[in-house]
Amino acid sequence: MPASRLTDTSRLAIHTMTHKPWSLEQCIREYSRAHLPGITVWRNVLAPMGAPAAGKMLRDSGLEVAALVRCGFFPGRDPPARALAMDDNRRAIDEASEIAAPMVVLVCGAVPGMSLPDARKQIRDGIAQLEPLAAERKIKLAIEPLHPMYAADRSAINTMKQAREICQALNSPWVGIACDVYHVWWDPDLETEIRLAGEQKTLFAFHLCDWRVQTRDLLNDRGLMGDGCIPLRTIRGWVEDAGFRGWNEVEIFSTEQWARDQVEYVQRIQRAYLQHC
């Protein structure tokens, strides 16, 4: 059963990358002006001011931080490369604490030329290594399976099932899954895996956008909800049936949208969210 229609934006959080032309300050100002309750902060907009200043600005705004995006990138060609990634992951957990983000989203990584089984093993090992710090700081680690078209160079974790297997192996309340419709909508096992994630308390995040027909670019041609073919309300129904009550996060990379009026885009996102999700 599709979920019933959304009647308000009380669970809507927008990823700052959705408004790539904006600084964190601009995102905070415009999302607040639109009376949006949540924000998902990307690290590129933290960098210019640093996490402590960003944290203060976010607290002052009253916006709630849904998550910090992104870290991970565990596989590396040699131990020093992997250690560098791990240092960065620890910094991300520090940053999440400083901006009161309850979780970090893991883009797990892949290295062209490295075999996928090797990359997948390094990912499991890396998450296991990061978990104690995450538990200590009470920051959730949300494994985001990426679409198989990113398996070569962005993430060797490409299905909900793979993410579930890592969660089951680590069996920590701090390790779960970020389910982004863009990456997983095609998966014949999606409904089953969402249900399992609910049962296993690992459904940490839910990301919304749409899959454009035709997609013109592998990375930056995501659609605004309703501009594509993903059955958004159906999937939200599965997610809510699985017990998820967290943020509905809008994450859209779109060269086309970034070229348009960004303030008006905040309005269009809200309308699309209410109409199509």
Residues that bind a second copy (CB under 8 A): 112-113, 115-116, 120, 147-149, 151-153, 158-159, 161-162, 185-188, 211, 213-216, 218, 228-229, 231, 234
The size of the chain, in residues, is 277
CB of 252 to a second copy, least distance (A): 17
My answer on whether omega of the bond before 70 falls inside 30° of 0, hence cis, is yes
Closer residue to a second copy, CB minimum distance, 62 or 112: 112
In the chain the beta strands, taken as DSSP E runs, fall at 12-15, 38-42, 64-72, 103-107, 140-143, 175-180, 203-208, 248-250
Cα 160 from Cα 148, distance rounded (Å): 11
Other Cβ atoms less than 10 A from the Cβ of 172: the count is 17
CB of 154 to a second copy, least distance (A): 10
**Structure token digits, residue 113:** 């030329």
In the 8-state DSSP scheme, what is residue 18?
G
Q: Which amino acid is at 103?
A: M
The values of phi and psi at residue 61, to 5°, are -75, -25
CB of 187 to a second copy, least distance (A): 7
Closer residue to a second copy, CB minimum distance, 27 or 184: 184
CB of 237 to a second copy, least distance (A): 13
**Structure token digits, residue 74:** 């565990």
Strand 175-180 to 64-72 pairing: unpaired
Are 101 and 134 contacting, i.e. CB atoms less than 8 angstroms apart?
A: no
Closer residue to a second copy, CB minimum distance, 39 or 166: 166
Closer residue to a second copy, CB minimum distance, 90 or 161: 161
Closer residue to a second copy, CB minimum distance, 31 or 185: 185
Q: What angle do CA 109, 82, 157 make, to 5 degrees?
A: 20
CB of 179 to a second copy, least distance (A): 15
Closer residue to a second copy, CB minimum distance, 80 or 113: 113
CB of 112 to a second copy, least distance (A): 4
